[in-house]
Structure 1
Amino acid sequence: MASSVTKEISYEELKALVGKSQNLLLVDVRTKDEVDKGRISGSVNIPVDSVEAAFAMEPEAFKAKYGVTKPPLDAPELVFHCQMGKRGGTATNTACKLGYVNARNYAGAYKEWCEKEGK
């Protein structure tokens, strides 16, 4: 288990944010091959091994590379997820170390999302 720093978000909480919140940045930390098989609508793919470098980028470079605005350190809705939960937790901890105070991990991950969404 990752350190106790990791804050988690449930399926129900995330579902309420997806498509409704202008502030949500949902980061899919799976590999490109995994994402190509399916993804949560609106998510941005930043593989787990790129998270630290990505979130350390200047805002202009981040937007140019990922097509979304780099969130401020106090972004209220920064959520990471992977396939099963572990890499999302790693990415969340990385973001917290970089100063993202509200970063959370969707521990149910893409696996739970698919089950709940009937995919």
Structure 2
Amino acid sequence: MAGAVNKEVSYEDLKALLEKRQNLFLVDVRSQGEVDKGQIPGSVHIPVDTVEAAFAMQPEEFKAKYGVTKPLMDAPELVFHCQMGKRGGMATSKAQELGYVNARNYAGGYKEWSEREGK
């Protein structure tokens, strides 16, 4: 995949994207129990084992299930994250396989986010 976007996002990158907000689609792939302990503001919870099915849904079905508009295949800022990076990376790969060319992983995950944000 020559010319693919850098597949990882740093804390600083994510912080900047959250401030601009216009195009960011942030997906939290952790378990419900992890999400209940805290999440990055504005993230959509889609557990890692359902990412493939979710992103293969028709847009109407996706909106009905998750309450947000399904990102387009070429969405510029589609970012996945988990607790520490591994599941986020798996979800990013699944999304790329489905054709989401700009999908990226916030490798620091919620662990780094909550430490840096003092939560």
TM-score (norm: length of structure 1): 0.94
Output aligned runs, 1:14-93, within 5 Å: 14-93=14-93
Task: Could you tell me which runs of 5 or more consecutive residues in structure 2 were left unpaired when the two chains were aligned.
Answer: none
Deviations 1:49-100 (A, max 9, x none): 0000000000000001001100010000000000010000000000000000
Change in CA separation of 1:81 and 1:109 when aligned onto 2, cut-off 3 Å:
same
- d(CA) in 1 for partners of 2:47, 2:6: 18
Query: 1: distance between equivalents of 2:30 and 2:78?
Result: 16
The answer to whether the 8 A contact 1:96-1:103 is kept is yes
Whether the 8 Å CA contact 1:6–1:93 is kept in 2: the answer is no
SS of 1:113 mapped into structure 2 = helix
Structure 1: how far apart are the matches of 2:23 and 2:48? Answer: 21
> What is the alpha-carbon distance in structure 2 between the residues aligned to residue 6 and residue 84 of structure 1?
18
Given the alignment of the two structures, is residue 13 of structure 1 paired with residue 17 of structure 2, yes or no? no
The SS at the match of 2:79 is strand
**Distance in 1 (alpha carbons) for counterparts of 2:67 and 2:6:** 26
Q: Unmatched 5+ residue regions in structure 1? A: none
* Deviation of the 1:40 alpha carbon: 0.3
Please, what is the CA RMSD of the aligned residues? 1.2
Residue identity (%)? 77
